[in-house]
Each structure stands twice: as structure tokens, then as C-alpha cells.
Structure 1
Amino acid sequence: MSGCSLMANAGEEKEKEPVKKENYEKYEADIETKVEKFDKLSIVMHYPETPNDQIDQTVLDYVNEQRSEFKKDSYERVKKKGISAVQELHIDYDVVYEDSATYVVKFNETVTWGEKRKAFDETVLHFEKSNGKKLSLTHFLRSENDYEEIRNYLERTFERKLSEKELNGFTYEGDAFTFFAGNQSVRVNKQEHPEWFKEKFMKKRSDMTERPGSFHAEKEITEIPVTEKMLEEYPVAVMGGPHPKRTEEILRVLEKNDRKAVFFLIGKRVERYPAAVEAIKEQGHAVVAHTWNHRLPERLTEKKESEYRERSVNLLSSITGQQEVLVSGDRVSPEKALINRPDWAGESEAWVKEQLVNSARSNGQLVVSGLNENTPALLREVLLELKDSGSREKDTGREESGAERLAGM
């Protein structure tokens, strides 16, 4: 491996088989999360990974374009306007509609560059499941004449002309289409205009694929902020996750090396992968309600921050059965160790390993990403190196170091 990064990126190596028709109904998508933390930039992108490579490529092109534009705009804000505050790009998503043939995803884009400077946008992508083709409005219509009929109908309703971009800025919801123009929206029910739509879209569709259930607390839950002393008991910190594959691999490494870790978890991912959380607890590791979707806390209103925290805490309590749930604090979080790690992307695995070992020796704590595909292998090698170095230090009669505590000597 010529280069290695230890930032959060999930599932890039996954190989997919072509989707067979009988599997369209079981279109379970994984959650992909990319996190890049720099001194003055925070980039967090959540997006789906489906069984269709073409859909995944289109989605990846979209998020990479958003990332590229954000970094360019950030540079301009610093250069021309002297912006010194941390700038944030956050992309989240919801599957707003899905049936056996169609997959509709809405992305929510948030950009902030100061306490009161922010911008919001939404992007809705429609896909055909069978071939991964990105769908426009014409895909649903009988003819070009119907396209013009809808245009005329909408322009009369909105009382103004619509651009092609606005006309295709719709959301398909199964029974209806919703169109947007500025702050206005119009819902067009298919049954009220059957003459416009292709026959196959007039057939009754199955309900949306069942999503992960909501978890509600039945008893009062006590939130316990993480302290430095607590972290000393779990000198390995795993940031992000859970992940359907990566978490299991990390747990195997920890078990083999007889080490305990504290897992700082993302609520959105916990909701999708509760079994991975159960596996963490079964092996005696600690779990922390770290964040719901990785927004910068200082850019959230107190109400929204409290809502996210309560949602994450209730979710973890419901899965683990704990009435006392660890929560991240502003002052105590190993996440700071991930700052600027995106710069490691072009470095060799040996170089990255050396940085992790040095950091663990100086801080007495090894901080790794719970999502990166390189983490399990690096974790195994770093723990071995720390164990060997800890043995050497112990033989010399030195005072116990952070590395020795980490290695369990």
C-alpha cells in the first residue's frame, strides 16, 4: 500500500455484484460517512451506499463536487474577506421515497463560516434501481407534450415563468410529485392527472422499505460526561462508527491484544447498525453518545444541540439497556487528535504508523477512526509496537509511561 490515511471514510473497498431483479425490493443501503478535520475547516458528509455501482458513483460525484466547491469558497472567504472562524460543510441525507423500481434521496447541505453566517440548500436525486440511471421529470411522463402541460400548469400556479432547473427540482413521493419555486411548493397528485404519467407509474406501489426503528427511553436516563480520568481506563479511543464491517474487525484486534477501548459513536450510524453497538458492549468496551450527525456543536442552537444529544442518549440506552449513558463533553474529547489527519492521505503506511505510535507515547492514548478501512491493520501493528517498546522501558526500570499503560504492561 503506497499511501495511507486514518481519517473517517467507510466502505470504499466494497465490491458489489450486479443487482438482480428479485432483489430490488431488498435494497438495503449502508451509510457512508466521511469526516475531515483541519484547524480551520470541518467537512462531514453522510451519504448512502447502495447495491448499484452507478447510483453510488453519481452520489459520490455529487458529494465530491460539494466538497470541492466548499474548499474553493473557503479559500476565497479567507483570502478576500479575512474570515478566521472555522468553516463547516455538513451534508446529511434522507431516503424520501423508495419502491421496487425507484430510489429517491434528499441531501441537506449546510455551510457555516461564523456564528451567524450560514447557508442551506437541498438536492434531490432520483434513480432507477435496475440500471442506476439518474432520472429527470421526463422519465415519469408519457410524452414531451405532457412536459409542457406540467410546465404551463406550474407556471399558472406559481404565477411566474420556471427555469428548466426549477422544473426538474421536484421530489417524487410515490403518489405525488412536489415542485419548488423559491419558498413556494406545489404538490401534483398522480391520480388527479393520470393523463400525464406513464402507465407503470400509475400502478400502486409497495410501501417504502422499512427503515431502522426509532428507540424511546422507557425510564429516566442519567447522562455522565466523559472525564480525563475515565479515558485513562480506556487508553484506546475509537472515534466514529459503528460500521457493519469495520467495527467487527477492530473488536477482533482488541480482543486478540486483550485491550479495552472507548467507542465515541455517531447517533445516525448507531440507528442503522444497532447490532454493532451490542457487540461492542458484549466485549466489555465503553460506548459514548458522541454526536448525532457530526455537526459542529457551536454552530447549533441550544435547542437543536439538546435535541440531538437526547436522541443519541435515548438510542444508546435503548440498545444497551444502560440507564447511565456516557456523553461527550466540549473539554474532554479525543477527537482533537484527528485534526489535520487528512494531510496523511499521501503518506506511507509506515509513516502513519510512526505518527500514531509517537502520539500514543506522548499522550498515553491511541486515537483511531472507527470508519477507515486501514484502522484494523494499523491498530494491530501499533499495539504490537507499543507493547514491545513498553517491555523495553519496563526492563530499564523507568517510571511507567503512557505507552506502558496503553500496552497493558
Structure 2
Amino acid sequence: MKQPILYMLLFTVLLSTGCSFIASANKDSEEPASSESPVYQVTMETDIVEYDEFHITIHYPQTPNNQMNQTIVDYVNQQKTYFKQESYNSIQEGQSNESHELHIDFEVLHQNQRFFVVRFKETMDIGKDNPITDQTIMNFDKKNGKRLEVGELFKDDVYYVDRLSELTIEKLEKGVEQGTVENSVVQPKPENYKHVALSGEGLVIYFNKDKRLPSSINLELEEVSSMMRSEYAEAIGELSNAKSKSSTPESASSTVTVEDSIDGDLDGNKRAAITFDDGPHPKVTAEILNLLDKYEAKATFFMIGKRVSYYPEVARDVADRGHEIGNHTWNHPRLNRLTSEQVDDQIESTQKIIKQVTGKEVGLIRLPFGEEPPLDYKNQLDAVPWTIYSEGWKDKEALEISQEILSQVEDGSIILLHELNNKTPETLELILKNLKHEGYDLVPVSKLEQDK
């Protein structure tokens, strides 16, 4: 009699436990996803393409959110496709025989626990009188990873364009010449209000280039909340006091000192210099440095200033291991389309960030696409060309690239490789192994120049 009672008690316990587990599981599944996400650690990707017909440089951010990343990558691919088609059409129409360029840079305008906002600045030169400039702003909702189009920020029953125009004109009319506002890009047309960014205090309206107007104006939350969807207006209000973190990593103190190990005498009879462009890269550069250590080689790294600001610890590691760093401009544009002030900013900003991060003064420069530096910098920085470069390297395997380079190496050669290519470490090891076997010393390019 005891055994059936025992089974009944056991069944009751299991049943109640199972019900409790199911109830708990249902409770967990019914809880809504958190509307807040942590502030993202933003990384920087760079896509550089060089052909005789055109040059492409695109910088873009990546985050821990895969859906947001895919939206950004889709945008990048669309921009490249559009540019290539426009470039082809321009060539067919005989408008220009010069190489064309697409250059896209970005800035993270704002991010908090709910929103991530990025602005892309686009420049397209297809041989017309002036380059074509534009911008794209993406407001992302971290809650679902979705990009919020401008119209989605506002209530359905509100024609937001009229109201934004009114607010914009009110803000501007005190600060611009009489008559400018009425004839400018602030009139109530949808195309004038497609560059709207969420901020921690409300909205920011960006204008396309017009020297008579500021690049943007700020609209406070109390000015726009009545026409915004309550979900977004409330989220801005709730998070307005939250501390936003910069997307750019903190740089090292400018007092950092680096052991100068590149001036020692070397015993080899034949010497060559290996140089790397477009870095630093958090993964590829580390692999390169380990290989250089393995083969007891020193090299020169021409770095993009903006990438140094995102990966300061990598740039610092390059210097700490005794390698040489050169200037490769701030964001890799073709300088021949920039004003003298813009050129100064490209070079000086890079000088400053490298000095701040590594503690080293930079004396070398290599401009994007092998351009000559402006006359003003001829006496300040030594321009470093290259003598060996594998054409079409992006479409070749490591073995083919290394064989092409090795077949041309001679005493005094300057080899060009790229840090943003995942095949570079494999290519580098093949080159180092062969050159060491042939008795070459691999030295920084400045050491090579000193011995001439």
C-alpha cells in the first residue's frame, strides 16, 4: 500500500515542478526585450580600391549589432555601384580622361543606450567642373537594429516638413543676411529635410553645402516633441541626461616615449625596405608585427590618421617594437581636389595624432595613390615612393603577389604592401623567408635612404 502512495506523491511533485518550470519559461518569454542597449564600441573599416580609371576610398563604422552593420555595408556597396556606373558614363561621353574618385568618410554623431546615429560625407569626382558632394544620415534604433527613415520619426498626422522649415527659418533669420533664408535650401520641401539626425537634446538638421548657412542647426526637444512619435520623443527625454561616450578611443598621453631602435648598424650587404600603407588594422597589423619579429626585420608603416585615432594601441605597438611610422593623411583623399587649408588639415591632423599616441615626431609622408606632396611640405616631410608594387593585388593570391615582388627585388628596393588586406601576412612571410635566405637585411625606409 505504501508503494502506490509513494508513486502518487512523486507524480504530484514532478507535476508541480513541471508546471512551475513551464510557467517560469512562459514568464521569461513574455518579458519584452530591453529598450536599452549598451553604448557600442565602434570599429572602423576602410575599403580602398585603385585602378587606372578610378580610385575609391570608403571609411565606415561597424558595431556589435549585425543588422545595423548589414544596412551600412549595403549602403557602401550601393555607393560603389552608383559611382562606377557614373564614372563609366562620363568616360563614354568623353567628359574626362583623368582618373575618377569616390571618397566617403563618416562621423558618429550621437549614440546612447537607445539610438546610434552616423553621418556619411560623400565626394564623387567624375571629371565634371566640380566634384559632387552629398551626405547620408542614418538614425538607428538599437532596440531592433532598424534604420529609422526621417518620416518614421514623426507622427502620421503631422506634415513635419512644414514645421521643420518654420523652426529652421526662425533659428536662422537672426543670423543670416536678409533675403537669404527665403531663397535658400530651408524652404518646406522634402529634399531639404532629408538630413535629420537624432541627438541627445532633440534633432539636428544638416544642410547641403551653402556658404551662406551654417552646416547644421539644433532643434531642442521641447520644440519638436509635439510632432515626433511619442516613443522616440520620450526616449530622447529619458536618456538626455545619460552620458554619451565618444566613438573614438582615448589616445595615449603625448608624453609616451618609444625606444628608438632603428638607427643601429646592420651587417648585411644587401638591404631592402618593406613599407605598409593604410593601417593600422587591429588584426592584420598584429600578425605583421609578429612576422617581422620572427624574421628580425624592421619596416615602415604609413598610417591613416583617422585609423590611428580608432586603434591607438595598435599604432603604439608598432612604435614600441622599433618600427618606423609615416604620414598617410587623415582619411586618404586625393589631395589635388582639396583646398590648401584642407590639405594642411589632412597632414597636420595626422602628424598630431601619431605624436600624441606614440610620442614620436613623424618625418616621412606617402600621399594616397602616390601623389606628390604640396610644395609647402617638401622641406618638412620626406616623401617616400615605392619601387615594387603588385598591380591588382586585391585579386591575387599571396603566392602570386610574393613571386611578382621577389622577382623584382634588388639592393635598395622599397616594397609596398597593404595592411588592410587579409592576405598580407601570408604574402609577407613568403617575402621575408626568401629575402632572408638571399642575405637581405630588411630595414626602415629612412635607414635605406641614409645609406645612399
Normalised to the residue count of structure 2, the TM-score between the two structures is 0.70
- Cα gap change, 1:276/1:348 in structure 2, threshold over 3 Å: closer, same or farther? closer
The residue type equivalent to 1:39 in the other structure is D
Give yes or no for the alignment of 1:202 onto 2:229.
no
Q: How does 1:63-212 map to 2 (within 5 A)?
A: 63-113=76-126, 117-141=130-154, 143-145=155-157, 147-148=158-159, 150-154=160-164, 160-163=187-190, 166-179=192-205, 187-197=218-228, 198=230, 199-205=234-240, 206-210=242-246, 211-212=248-249
Q: Flag structure 1 segments of 5+ consecutive residues without an equivalent.
A: 1-19, 219-231, 392-403
Aligned mate of 2:401, from 339, 352, 360: 352
Q: Distance in 2 between matches of 1:192 and 1:127?
A: 22
What is the deviation of 1:371? 1.5
Q: How does 1:363-378 map to 2 (within 5 A)?
A: 364-378=413-427
- Cα gap change, 1:155/1:30 in structure 2, threshold over 3 Å: closer, same or farther? closer
Partner SS for 2:59: strand
What is the deviation of 1:248? 1.0
Normalised to the residue count of structure 1, the TM-score between the two structures is 0.77
Q: Distance in 2 between matches of 1:333 and 1:204?
A: 49
> 1:234 touches 1:261 (CA, 8 Å); kept in 2?
no
- Cα gap change, 1:335/1:241 in structure 2, threshold over 3 Å: closer, same or farther? farther
What is the deviation of 1:21? 6.3
Q: Which runs of 4+ in 1 moved over 6 A?
A: 20-23, 214-218
Q: How does 1:318-357 map to 2 (within 5 A)?
A: 318-323=356-361, 325-328=363-366, 330=372, 332-334=383-385, 340-341=391-392, 344-345=394-395, 347-357=396-406
Residues 238-271 of structure 1, C-alpha deviations (whole Å, 9 max, x = no match): 1111112211111001100111100001001111
Match of 2:346 in 1: 308
Match of 1:293 in 2: 331
- Cα gap change, 1:215/1:83 in structure 2, threshold over 3 Å: closer, same or farther? farther
Aligned mate of 1:384, from 424, 428, 433: 433
> 1:386 touches 1:407 (CA, 8 Å); kept in 2?
no
- Cα gap change, 1:96/1:303 in structure 2, threshold over 3 Å: closer, same or farther? same
Q: Distance in 1 between matches of 2:329 and 2:206?
A: 32
RMSD: 3.2
> 2:102 touches 2:122 (CA, 8 Å); kept in 1?
yes
Percent of aligned positions that are identical: 27
Partner SS for 2:86: helix
> 2:276 touches 2:419 (CA, 8 Å); kept in 1?
yes
Give yes or no for the alignment of 1:257 onto 2:295.
yes
- Cα gap change, 1:92/1:237 in structure 2, threshold over 3 Å: closer, same or farther? same
Q: Distance in 1 between matches of 2:102 and 2:348?
A: 23
- Cα gap change, 1:215/1:80 in structure 2, threshold over 3 Å: closer, same or farther? farther
What is the deviation of 1:406? 4.6
The residue type equivalent to 1:364 in the other structure is S
Q: Distance in 2 between matches of 1:192 and 1:82?
A: 47
Q: Flag structure 2 segments of 5+ consecutive residues without an equivalent.
A: 1-32, 170-181, 256-269, 374-382, 445-452
Larger Rg: 2
What is the deviation of 1:362? 8.8
Comparing both chains, which one has the higher relative contact order based on Cα–Cα distances under 8 Å and sequence gaps of 6 or more? 1
Q: Distance in 1 between matches of 2:291 and 2:42?
A: 27
Q: Distance in 1 between matches of 2:349 and 2:253?
A: 9
Partner SS for 1:287: strand
> 1:364 touches 1:406 (CA, 8 Å); kept in 2?
no
Q: Distance in 2 between matches of 1:242 and 1:35?
A: 14
Give yes or no for the alignment of 1:34 onto 2:47.
yes
> 1:383 touches 1:407 (CA, 8 Å); kept in 2?
no
Partner SS for 1:31: strand
Residues 339-361 of structure 1, C-alpha deviations (whole Å, 9 max, x = no match): 8425x42x444323322323445
> 1:39 touches 1:339 (CA, 8 Å); kept in 2?
no
> 1:49 touches 1:56 (CA, 8 Å); kept in 2?
yes
